[in-house]
A and B are shown apart, each in its own frame.
Chain A
Amino acid sequence: AAGVIQSPRHLIKEKRETATLKCYPIPRHDTVYWYQQGPGQDPQFLISFYEKMQSDKGSIPDRFSAQQFSDYHSELNMSSLELGDSALYFCASSLRSDYGYTFGSGTRLTVV
């Protein structure tokens, strides 16, 4: 079965650079979610999209933005990167009516 695809798997950036993370949800899933997970921490909700419109927002820094495109893939754009942005970034998708989310394998971002 198709899963949630994230790219890249690993990314190393320097401080103040920008990064773009991509997510391809499971076909026919109508909702995409982005989470940030620091080492030893729980996944922190960043933002979600339902049918390509932003549906909810969490603790996402103003330096970050995201969107969902007509083909339902989503991108998380991160600018002016800081050391503290180093984390695993997960994308998940679901049907709005589903009870649980399916997560991608994540992008490990390291800011040096």
Chain B
Amino acid sequence: GQSLEQPSEVTAVEGAIVQINCTYQTSGFYGLSWYQQHDGGAPTFLSYNGLDGLEETGRFSSFLSRSDSYGYLLLQELQMKDSASYFCAVRTPGGFKTIFGAGTRLFVKA
């Protein structure tokens, strides 16, 4: 089976940098993804790491270490609109299912 662990809550101030960690245990691995979800909204795909290393997309970066079964999402220059839940997710081999972690609720304060 698959299990993912991430912190339940993180609080940071506007303009700061925050890192959300994710560790996973899977019977098969096909990449680590990150999704953002605002209250009452739909999950939105942010990034994907299939190989070790850092992927950068604007203010967001994501990192993966497959040997450590670990990844993180880095958010820079935090804005109030970044307040949301962030889910790490593992896509299973075959690619027809993605399992989500419990989510990290990010609060950005002025």
Contacts and interface: CB of A to CB of B under 8 A. Distances in A.
Interface stretch (A21-29, A50-58, A67-75): A50-58
B43 A48 contact: no
Given A100-B48, A103-B43, A104-B42, A43 B100 contact: yes
A90 B42 contact: yes
B102 A42 contact: yes
A27 to B, nearest CB: 18
A64 interface: no
Interface string B73-99: 000000000000001000010111111
Interface residues of A, number: 23
Contact of A103 (B33, B42, B95, B103): B42
Nearest to B99: A45
B101 interface: yes
B103 A45 contact: no
Contacts of A50: 96
Contacts of A41: 102-103
B86 to A, nearest CB: 11
A31 B96 CA distance: 8
Contact of A99 (B44, B48, B100): B48
Q: Which of B41, B42, B92, B95 has the most CB of A within 10 A?
A: B42
Interface in A17-51: 31, 33, 41-45, 48, 50
A21 to B, nearest CB: 14
Given A99-B48, A99-B50, A56 B42 contact: no
11 contacts: A33-B97, A41-B103, A42-B103, A45-B99, A45-B100, A48-B96, A55-B96, A56-B96, A58-B97, A99-B31, A105-B42
Given A43-B87, A56-B94, A106-B42, 5 more contacts: A41-B102, A41-B103, A42-B87, A99-B31, A103-B43
Interface of B: 31, 33, 35, 41-46, 48, 50, 87, 92, 94-103
